[in-house]
Amino acid sequence: MKSIRKNYGWILVTILASLPLLVIFNMIHISFTDGLSISIIEKTATEGKTTLEMLYHVSGEFAIRWMTAVLTCTPFFILFGVNNLYVRQAMGIATAVWSFLHFIIFISTEGFIETFTQVNYIAGFIAILILIPLFFTSNRKSMKRLKAKWKKLQSWAYAAIFLSILHVAILDKTWLIYAIIVGIGFVIRIPIIKSYFIKRRNKRKPVNS
């Protein structure tokens, strides 16, 4: 029970991040008859999209959603004083897993060379490369081993979200909501604004008699 209470954030994020996989599993067929083979089940998509388009949409949408969620953790702490570093790490892992899945779906159907044919693909690919070291260092052992360097390494998440928004912006207009959320988060981080909110938050705290 103590372990569950201590890691409830990890468990919750894992459940939330895993649920959309049920949608993807309904669109693909996995066979182990002659080794591992994965094929797309046609006519399982909705909203007028092909199955492949829906796979792109679901995996990419959840990748940028989790990435945006990670970058709202600091503003959330500034506003409400609630912070859980390990929950943020779990969100970071969810971001990386969905991003890798999105990229795997792409190269398995279009080929790796196609990655370098368009600006939005290149932006997405660079974001993937940035996420790789962030993914493998999102754990407590890496924090202890890298110490101050760990925060510097994780700060590359800002570059990843910028490239991801650029990647989505070229494809469609849904990028705007993510850009607004991330932009507000950066505004809240501005020292003067950050100080204002922290002082206001501290005034609301009950004074111990």
Task: Name the residue among 130, 139, 132 with its Cα closest to residue 85.
Answer: 139
Tell me the pLDDT tens digit for each residue of 172-203.
767 788 888 888 988 998 999 989 888 888 77
Task: Name the residue among 183, 192, 67, 169 with its Cα closest to residue 127.
Answer: 67
- Between 118 and 38, the higher pLDDT residue: 118
Can you give the pLDDT at residue 209? Answer: 42
Handedness of CA 124, 126, 132, 133 (dihedral sign): negative
Residue 37 clears pLDDT 60, i.e. is over it: yes
20-26 CB contacts, 8 Å cutoff, 24+ apart: 20/58, 20/62, 23/58, 24/55, 24/58, 24/59, 24/101
Alpha helices in 72-204 (DSSP H): 73-80, 85-110, 119-136, 140-146, 148-154, 157-171, 175-189, 191-203
Can you give the pLDDT at residue 108? Answer: 79
Handedness of CA 44, 18, 98, 95 (dihedral sign): positive
Residue 139 structure tokens: 């754990």
